[in-house]
């Protein structure tokens, strides 16, 4: 679910290729996966980033991720269409 390396871990966690079989969609599984990534990244004190398309950008926004960049047109194509957005979530600063 969560891809990281020692080089990237200090900067961010990248959620890569999150998908749920259509037979199991709408049951909160993808939300659980995103929350797990956010929780792990939060423990490391780093942000979460992922790429998404227009078809699910609002879904991620409703889960606290914000648009931080636009990918060059045609950079990443999937069966659902082009991934055009870089989305990011940052942990709350410790008080």
Span 7-31, pLDDT tens digits: 444 588 888 878 889 999 999 999 9
Structurally, how many domains does the chain consist of?
1
**pLDDT for 80:** 62
Which is more confident, 91 or 7?
Answer: 91
- Residue corresponding to tokens 């891809």: 3
SS3 helix, strand, coil % of the chain, rounded to 5?
Answer: 30, 30, 40
In the chain, pLDDT over 70 holds for what percent of residues? 83
Structural domain harbouring 71? 2-89
13, 39 contact by CB (below 8 A)? no
| CATH number of 48's domain | 3.40.630.30
Residue 73: the pLDDT is: 79
Give pLDDT, residue 28: 94
Residue with the bigger pLDDT between 5 and 68: it is 68
Name the phi and psi angles at 13, rounded to 5.
Answer: -110, 135
Structure tokens that stand for 65 in this block: 């991720």
Residue 95: inside a domain, yes or no?
no
Does residue 42 sit in helix, strand or coil?
helix
């Amino acid at each position: 679910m969560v891809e990281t390396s020692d080089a990237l871990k200090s900067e961010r966690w990248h959620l890569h290729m999150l998908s749920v079989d259509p037979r199991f969609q709408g049951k909160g599984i993808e939300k659980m996966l995103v929350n797990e990534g956010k929780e792990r990244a939060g423990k490391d004190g780093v942000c979460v980033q992922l790429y998404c398309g227009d078809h699910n950008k609002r879904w991620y926004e409703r889960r606290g991720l914000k648009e931080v960049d636009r990918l060059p047109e045609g950079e990443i194509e999937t069966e659902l269409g082009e991934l055009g957005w870089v989305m990011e979530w940052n942990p709350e600063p410790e008080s």
